[in-house]
Structure 1
Amino acid sequence: MDTKLQIIDISIPLFQQKGYKGVGVTEIIKACNVSKGSFYHHFPNGKEELLIACLQSISEVITTHIQDIFKQSPTTKEATKAMIDILVSNFEQEGTISGSTITSIVSEMGSLTDPVRDVCSDLYLKMQTIYVSKLESDGFSKEKANSIAVMMNASIEGAIILCLTQKSSNPLKIISHVLSDLFN
Structure 2
Amino acid sequence: MDTKELIINTSLTLFHQKGYLGVGLNEILKVCSISKGSLYHHFPNGKEELLIACLHSLNETITTDMEEIFSNHPSTQTATQAMIEKLAMQFDRDGTITGYTFSSIVSEMGSLSEPVRNACALTFTKIQGIYASKLESDGFSKETAESMALMLTASIEGGIMLCLTKKTSDPLTIISKSLPNLLKVF
Per the normalisation by structure 2, the TM-score is 0.95
Matched, 1:132 2:132: yes
Could you give the per-residue CA deviations for residues 91-115 of structure 1, whole angstroms, max 9, x where no partner exists? Answer: 0011000222222322213443111
State which drifts further: 35-44 or 54-63: 35-44
Structure 2: give runs of 5+ residues left out of the alignment: none
Q: What is the alpha-carbon distance in structure 2 between the residues aligned to residue 144 and residue 65 of structure 1? A: 24
Contact 1:17–1:98 (CA under 8 A) maintained in structure 2 = no
Three-state SS of the structure 2 residue aligned to 1:73 is coil
Three-state SS of the structure 2 residue aligned to 1:107 is helix
Could you give the per-residue CA deviations for residues 78-131 of structure 1, whole angstroms, max 9, x where no partner exists? Answer: 001000000000000110002222223222134431111111100000000000
1:108-119 → structure 2 map (5 Å cutoff): 108-119=108-119
1:81-120 → structure 2 map (5 Å cutoff): 81-120=81-120
Three-state SS of the structure 1 residue aligned to 2:140 is coil
What letter matches 1:53 in structure 2? Answer: A
What letter matches 2:104 in structure 1? Answer: S
Contact 1:124–1:153 (CA under 8 A) maintained in structure 2 = yes
Q: What is the alpha-carbon distance in structure 2 between the residues aligned to residue 67 and residue 181 of structure 1? A: 23
Q: What is the alpha-carbon distance in structure 2 between the residues aligned to residue 144 and residue 125 of structure 1? A: 16
Q: Equivalent residue for 1:57?
A: 57
Q: What is the alpha-carbon distance in structure 2 between the residues aligned to residue 20 and residue 118 of structure 1? A: 16
Q: Equivalent residue for 1:157?
A: 157
Q: Percent identity?
A: 61
1:17-36 → structure 2 map (5 Å cutoff): 17-36=17-36
Structure 1: give runs of 5+ residues left out of the alignment: none
Q: What is the alpha-carbon distance in structure 1 between the residues aligned to residue 21 and residue 111 of structure 2? A: 9
Three-state SS of the structure 1 residue aligned to 2:21 is coil
Q: What is the alpha-carbon distance in structure 2 between the residues aligned to residue 112 and residue 19 of structure 1? A: 14
